[in-house]
Amino acid sequence: MSETIRTQVAIIGAGPAGLMLAHLLQRSGIELVILESRSRDYVESRVRAGVLEHGTSELLRETGVGERMRREGLVHRGIALRFNDRSVRIDFPDLTDGKTVTVYGQQEVVKDLIAARLATGAPILFECAAVAIDAGDEPSVRYRDAGGAEHVVRADFIGGCDGFHGVSRHSIPKETLKIFERAYPFGWLGIMSETPPVGDVIYARHERGFALASLRNPNLSRYYIQCGLDTEIADWPDDRFWDELKRRFPDDIGRKIVTGPSIEKSIAPLRSFVAEPLRYGRLFLAGDAAHIVPPTGAKGLNLAISDVFYLQRALAAHFANGDDRYLERYSDMALRRVWAAERFSWWLTKLLHVFPDDDAFETRIKLSEFDHLHRSKHARAMVAEQYAGLPFED
């Protein structure tokens, strides 16, 4: 039986963007409905990002959903960049007046936000997929529930937080959107293993390709290697992955890598993508629905959070006193941060990965970039301030 729900904000998607937007709006006393096409188990088990910027962890803490992150998250004071015999340490507190990052899996953030919402008695409509959006003066979202029945949510505004493949961006007329895109000629093959991590988050450039050592906790390691776009997981049994990973790190790191059976293995393509503007009528895009960054700069999840910080502030001002200045500025303000993250992620991806057209000149240029980072505290500060996270705009 079809039903119609009336609310103030309809949110499509229960990933980090949608869940954080719901959490912030609910704290402002704004009524909302959140639609998620997948099940709770599926959403909570998706392995993705791992590094929270300073601003992201502060926002989680300040809004009452940071307690488990405080207990279980790992505060990291820097990252290491390795290029054969060259090593550069980016020390965040020294270079950013005290900022750090927190290593805490995206799926843990998602679990904490879901638990917080459900603890208030407010629902999340899981297995309810939005199928059509009207972003006009009478906004509505038509959705299909697990049984196939269709329903409608009528709202004052719509938060399009449904990721890169969602319906929100695709419901904006093509002639309205400007798309900016780079597809990289490689992907990341990632592995999770219940082994003690090397310790730091270490990025390595090697002639065979990029490698990254990361972690989730003292007994859960996360590693990635650059791989071809035609890579099949079936061709990468654990032993082959571990051998290749060790070959790409300098010996002092390689010999610290503790191998073990993988508990998760996946391939992610790398892409830079931005759709402008982030607003169409009463539909506001946030997170991967609007932009994608290569994971090299650990920005994807953090951009989703900064988008919805701006969007919640704008919606709260509208509902509290009819002040629409932040709503009118939302797209431009969020895009300034998006493009800063796009540029940083593109720059770090270019520096650390082997591109098919990397000739001897290009390799010398990248080597010189490393040497500049090694010599110049100012150059390292440029990396630190962007990796640890730029401040939110007022």
Catalog residues that contact ligand PHB under the rule CB under 6 A. 49-51, 201, 214, 222, 295-296, 298
| 356 included as an active-site residue | no
Q: Which residue among the candidates 23, 291, 299, 353 is catalytic per the annotation?
A: 299
Q: Does 300 bind ligand FAS (CB under 6 A)?
A: yes
Site string for ligand FAS, 122-141 (x = CB under 6 A): -------xx-----------
Residue with tokens 């609007």: 290
Helices 16-27 & 106-119, crossing angle to 10 degrees?
40
Is 11 a binder of ligand FAS (CB under 6 A)?
A: no
CB-based burial label for 237 (10 Å; 0-12, 13-18, 19+)? exposed
74 or 130: CB nearest ligand FAS? 130
- Catalytic residue among 16, 197, 294, 295, which? 295
Query: How many other C-beta atoms are found inside a 10 Å radius of the C-beta of residue 315?
Result: 27
Binding status of residue 48 toward ligand FAS by CB under 6 A: yes
C-alpha closest to that of 282 among 181, 183, 195, 158: 158
Task: Show the site string, 163-202: x = touches ligand FAS by CB under 6 A, - = not.
Answer: x--xx-----------------------------------
Binding flag, residue 287, ligand FAS (CB under 6 A): yes
In the set 23, 54, 76, 99, the catalytic residue is 76
The dihedrals phi and psi of 191, each to the nearest 5 degrees, come to -135, 145
Q: Is 203 a catalytic residue?
A: yes
Least gap, CB of 165 to ligand FAS (angstroms): 6
162 touches ligand FAS by CB under 6 A:
yes
Burial class of 285 by CB neighbour count within 10 A (0 to 12, 13 to 18, 19+): buried
Question: Is residue 299 among the annotated active site residues?
Answer: yes
Helices marked H in the chain = 16-27, 40-45, 54-62, 67-72, 92-95, 106-119, 238-248, 251-254, 300-321, 325-352, 360-375, 377-388
Least Å from the CB of residue 65 to ligand FAS: 15
Which two three-digit tokens encode residue 364? 């010398």
Q: By C-beta, is 9 or 167 nearer to ligand FAS?
A: 167
Cβ at position 372, least distance to ligand FAS in Å: 26
CA 279-338-39 angle, to 5 degrees, is: 70
Strand partners, 154: 6, 140
Which residues participate in catalysis according to the annotation?
76, 203, 295, 299, 387
Contact set with ligand FAS (CB under 6 A):
12-18, 35-38, 43, 48-50, 106, 129-130, 161-163, 166-167, 266, 268, 287-289, 295, 298-301, 304
